Structure 1
Amino acid sequence: MNLPLHDKPQGDAADALASSFTASYAGVVAFIAVASEGSFARAADRLGIGRSAVSRSVQKLEAQLNARLFLRTTRNTSLTREGELFYENCHPGVQRIVQALEDMRELREGPPRGHLRISATAGFGRRIVAPLLAGFRARYPDVSIDLLLDDRLTDFTTDRVDVAFRDGQLEDSQIVAKRLVPMQMLVCASPAYAKKHGLPHDLDELAGHRCINFRTASGRVAEWEFRVCGQKHKFAPPSLCTFNDAELVLQSVLDGTGIAQLAGYQAGEHLREGTLVSCLTPYAPDDRGHYLCYLSRQQLPTRVRAFIDYMTDAIRAMDWQVVRDPSPADAQPIGAAHHRPAQAHRQIALPTLQERVD
């Protein structure tokens, strides 16, 4: 048990506390059982140990306390005055321990209840996680939620986080990471921008476009990621504007300011509605994902298990993923001549680029 500094005993009190830890707590448990049952035999049955073990534990406790706790005859066992006093002092504490054990068991086996601290990146948290919380709370009204939106890497211990949503590629082997859906990264522009400036046909042409970059929580500009001939290719193109908020990047693209690489959860609805168009889709990376993370699979409270199951089902059922036909043969080396990549499409038909820019 970690006590606050101002609550920690000092001097003689500290010595007494240290000494108490050497006492026979098995003896205290045996003493309470005998006092409650009125018999060493019945106490042994209740504790699931032998009568001689109960007797030895009580005798050791009496020696440590230098006091006789029971009057024992062949027919009867009763508390001495010292035993009655000790029982009165111990019983509330033991009851609290028993209640604490029951509470912990209920948290892991009973109906979901208690408090959940959830972490998510700002963009994914606002667009995906937050709208689902009302449904979770309606199903589990005894669970309260604390949602933290932060693009920094989650520190589960320091931040006291139960579950975190992470994007991209995970390298932390200390956490359990459940992949929810792929994380698609698409280079997007508004139809107005595409009509006025055209769209890049290969990665070399990005340098001639008005690119919009995202600055991460660490202060670094996020690199655009592509896959070229099966190899990962990352770089940050020269930018017209840089924002440290993903929603501002999206809004700038919608306004026709320039082009940016956006996550599928940001771009999907706009691609379906025709307010965005995409390009360079054969180069889109295919090794990223949206993950639900927690520290251990063991001894999860029911509220955490319920949240994980609910969010997994709800997010996988959402229709915001952009689906494209895999066409790796189109992804030529940078600078090589090739055909213009096909536009991204969802499971439903999207307007053509010409229909959008007109």
Structure 2
Amino acid sequence: MDQLDASQHAFRVGLPNPADALSTCFSTSYAGIIAFMAVATEGSFAKAGERLGIGRSAVSRNVQKLESQLSTRLFLRTTRSTHLTREGERFFENCNQGVTHIVDAMNDMLDLRAGPPRGLLRVSSSVGFGRKVVAPLLSRFCEAYPDIAVDLMLDDKAADFAAEQIDVSFRDGCIEDSSIIAKQLVPMQMALCAAPIYVQKHGLPATLDELAQHECINLRSSGGRVFEWEFKVDGHLRKYLPTARLTFNDADLVLRAVLEGHGIAQLPGYEIGDHLARNELVMALRRHVPDDRGHYICYLCRQHLPSRIRVFVDFMTEQIRALNLLCLDDFYLDSPKGVHQA
């Protein structure tokens, strides 16, 4: 049995681990209580020393220090036997309750790591991706893992894992936070698009400079910031904040306004793929679409990951990658069927 298995076994049977580093760094009372519990359980100082991996004399010294600290005699010792005093029996009963709670707490943590997935999972996501992609998959996840409860929070600002007690977060764009583990699910496709009715009246921009001549529709974040449009020009990222006739703080309202022909907007591929397939939208300036963005699933640490987080990350990774989110390559650039290309 290796050290980790021995540690887990010792806690599961309700006895301290001989290799427990805590016994060397806690106060005298901790070492004394551990020695006391071992002697009371084993019935002798020698057997207690074997169980704890220390000498009999060290066990005796720790118990004596504890007795001095408590000003109470805990054991009646003779050359043939060791018995608890009445005070020792009372102290053992009280300490045993604490040990039981500690053992239960340890076993609960071990079960969270290696046992069946269970417990509450707090998940955050950007509003659009969470509503369109993540939320529809949750019913299937809950069917597969009925002992996991999911709390999904939609917000376009980056989640604060510590302050908000977030287990998993879905993020879009470029991840520059080195304190988290960010696993790319799929590349993030952004496209400038318009409805055919808008194209028939106004045409489509052929260059970035022509954007100023068009009716633009902007998206404002929950924090009040208007999202900039991003393009790739000669291998470099170029950001553009259009003067908008319409601005919304909800991505669905931006999409609806575009579908109704009120203007053009830059929208993610997962939002517009179905509309492109039905010829309800057309793309523009595809050659300038940035190719360094992604949809990510994020969490804090790979080590000691609870099983509920592990299975959720694996499930969502498999399911999202199976979706047709990289759909923009399937459609003709800058012109829908029956619409003259500008």
Question: Normalising by structure 1, what TM-score?
Answer: 0.84
Contact 1:281–1:342, Cα closer than 8 Å, also in 2: no
Task: Quote how far apart the aligned CAs of 1:32 are.
Answer: 1.4
Note if 1:66 corresponds to 2:56.
Answer: no
2:207 aligned to which of 202, 208, 222 = 202
User: Over residues 61-108 of structure 1, what are the superposed CA-to-partner deviations in whole Å (9 max), with x where a residue is unaligned?
Assistant: 112111111112232111011101111211111110111011011111
Task: Quote how far apart the aligned CAs of 1:356 are.
Answer: 6.3
| 2:337 corresponding residue in structure 1 | 354
Note if 1:182 corresponds to 2:184.
Answer: no
Note if 1:343 corresponds to 2:333.
Answer: yes
1:297 aligned to which of 299, 302, 325 = 302
Task: Quote how far apart the aligned CAs of 1:22 are.
Answer: 4.4
CA distance, structure 1, for counterparts of residue 120 and residue 53 of structure 2: 35
CA distance, structure 2, for counterparts of residue 70 and residue 35 of structure 1: 9
Report percent identity of matched pairs: 59
Note if 1:173 corresponds to 2:178.
Answer: yes
CA distance, structure 2, for counterparts of residue 117 and residue 313 of structure 1: 20
CA distance, structure 1, for counterparts of residue 136 and residue 54 of structure 2: 54
Task: Quote how far apart the aligned CAs of 1:23 are.
Answer: 4.5
1:279 aligned to which of 244, 265, 284 = 284
SS in 2 for 1:84: helix
Contact 2:191–2:266, Cα closer than 8 Å, also in 1: yes
Contact 2:122–2:150, Cα closer than 8 Å, also in 1: yes
Contact 2:259–2:281, Cα closer than 8 Å, also in 1: yes
Note if 1:231 corresponds to 2:236.
Answer: yes
Task: Quote how far apart the aligned CAs of 1:40 are.
Answer: 2.4
Gaps of at least 5 residues in structure 1 are 1-20, 326-340, 345-351
Gaps of at least 5 residues in structure 2 are 1-25
Contact 2:45–2:56, Cα closer than 8 Å, also in 1: yes
Question: Normalising by structure 2, what TM-score?
Answer: 0.87
| 1:95 corresponding residue in structure 2 | 100
CA distance, structure 2, for counterparts of residue 180 and residue 49 of structure 1: 52
CA distance, structure 1, for counterparts of residue 53 and residue 311 of structure 2: 35
2:333 is aligned with what amino acid? Answer: Q
Contact 2:200–2:339, Cα closer than 8 Å, also in 1: no
| 1:78 corresponding residue in structure 2 | 83
Alignment of 1:309-328 (within 5 A): 309-324=314-329
Contact 2:124–2:169, Cα closer than 8 Å, also in 1: yes
SS in 2 for 1:232: strand
SS in 2 for 1:200: coil
CA distance, structure 2, for counterparts of residue 85 and residue 235 of structure 1: 75
Note if 1:264 corresponds to 2:247.
Answer: no
